[in-house]
């Protein structure tokens, strides 16, 4: 469907600088968009592509409007506004209500009349599929699991027994929610499996990326609050709790029992040790490793940025000699009468 810029400006509260009759029908990048395509600008590094764009219109903040050579939709949150407009221009196809002939649905399952169950999907006994929910091809909904209204399982998603999925949540291909947690008790050099008797509770508007896994609780439940966004190939361990509207990028690993606050941002390959707590509004940069509680909002980092190989070898060699250097400094301080710090006081 197409929209005029005048319609868009009114609907989303933008200031329009340009012809209100210009129509947009699709979206594109600053460099790739042409006539009929809408784009947006938020990254200062893309100032030059903005100046050269041939898009039908650009969604941007007031301070960038003077650099825009085409009609502009001016607002304070251009990325979010662009996302809402894009949703109108590219709506998700509505799946037809009904159950595909190849689906296997237990007689004791409850399927809303408006729900869609795709080919080769499996719905086990006691499961509930809410109004307008979509169970895509090859998905499995375990016994007693509950899918809320407008939930969408895209394809080959596994929702294990007893899992609760809140309204409008989206699970992408290969996601697994409610598998057993990594729970084992050591016994004389062997491992005894601990039954994982909790479940997983997902709030409303949660999104889980492709091939990500959320383990069920060992005793209590694993809980993911409203609006949490989880990228691809993320591991969430048993009994983890994640606060509302936290965003987690790809390849993050969260060990069992960790508690993560609301509105946090975890960049790619972050690692969270088990049974610790992270407060609200914490940002962890890529490859950060968290091994202690964080009780103050802010930005935290621990990953080492890439260096040229020769430079990294020199840095690594110096790191290996840091203990020797520390002892020499302590010896110099003692000889000079300074209190210094004893070797046995080293934090390591």
Catalytic residue set? 238
How distant, in Å, are the alpha carbons of 19, 27, 153, 257, 313 from that of 196? 61, 46, 24, 13, 45
Backbone angles phi, psi at 315, to 5 degrees: -60, -45
Q: At what angle do helices 78-89 and 5-12 cross, to 10 degrees?
A: 120
Structure tokens at 135: 């169970």
Q: How are strands ordered across the β-sheet holding 57-60?
A: 15-17, 72-74, 57-60, 37-40, 26-27
d(CA 125, CA 345) in angstroms, rounded, equals: 61
Q: What angle do CA 39, 91, 160 make, to 5 degrees?
A: 120
d(CA 256, CA 264) in angstroms, rounded, equals: 18
Residue pair 189/177 in contact (Cβ under 8 Å)? The answer is: no
Residue pair 120/137 in contact (Cβ under 8 Å)? The answer is: yes
How many CB atoms within 10 Å of residue 296?
A: 9
Which helix (H) or strand (E) segment holds residue 67: the answer is none
Nearest CA among 274, 272, 277 for reference residue 259: 277
Nearest CA among 268, 211, 267, 212 for reference residue 240: 212
Q: Tokens 């729970």, residue?
A: 183
């Amino acid at each position: 469907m197409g929209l005029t810029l005048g319609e868009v400006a009114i609907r989303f509260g933008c200031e329009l600088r340009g012809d209100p009759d210009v129509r947009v029908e699709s979206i594109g990048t600053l460099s790739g968009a042409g006539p009929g395509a809408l784009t947006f600008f938020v990254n200062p590094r893309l100032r030059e592509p903005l100046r050269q764009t041939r898009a039908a219109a650009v969604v941007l903040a007031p301070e960038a409007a003077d650099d825009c050579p085409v009609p502009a939709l001016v607002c304070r949150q251009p990325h979010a506004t662009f996302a809402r407009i894009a949703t109108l221009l590219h709506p998700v196809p509505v799946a037809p209500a009904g159950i595909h002939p190849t689906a296997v649905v237990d007689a004791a399952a409850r399927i809303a009349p408006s729900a869609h169950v795709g080919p080769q999907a499996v719905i086990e006994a006691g499961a509930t599929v809410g109004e307008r929910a979509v169970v895509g091809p090859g998905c499995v909904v375990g016994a007693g699991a509950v899918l809320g209204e407008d939930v969408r399982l895209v394809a080959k998603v596994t929702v294990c027994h007893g899992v609760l999925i809140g309204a409008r949540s989206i699970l992408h291909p290969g996601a697994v929610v409610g598998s057993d947690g990594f729970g084992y008790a050591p016994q004389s050099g062997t491992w005894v499996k601990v039954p994982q008797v909790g479940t997983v509770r997902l709030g409303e508007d949660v999104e889980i990326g492709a091939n990500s896994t959320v383990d069920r609780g060992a005793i209590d439940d694993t809980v993911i609050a409203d609006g949490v966004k989880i990228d691809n190939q993320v591991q969430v361990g048993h009994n983890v709790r994640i606060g509302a509207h936290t965003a987690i990028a790809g390849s993050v690993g969260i060990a069992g029992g960790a508690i993560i606050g609301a509105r946090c941002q975890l960049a790619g390959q972050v690692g969270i040790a088990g049974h610790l707590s992270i407060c609200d509004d914490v940002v962890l940069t890529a490859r950060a490793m968290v091994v202690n509680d964080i009780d103050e909002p802010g930005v935290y980092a621990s990953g080492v940025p890439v260096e040229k190989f020769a430079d990294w070898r020199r840095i690594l060699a110096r790191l290996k000699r840091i203990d020797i250097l520390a002892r020499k400094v302590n010896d110099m301080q003692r000889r000079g009468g300074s209190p210094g710090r004893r070797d046995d006081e080293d934090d390591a």
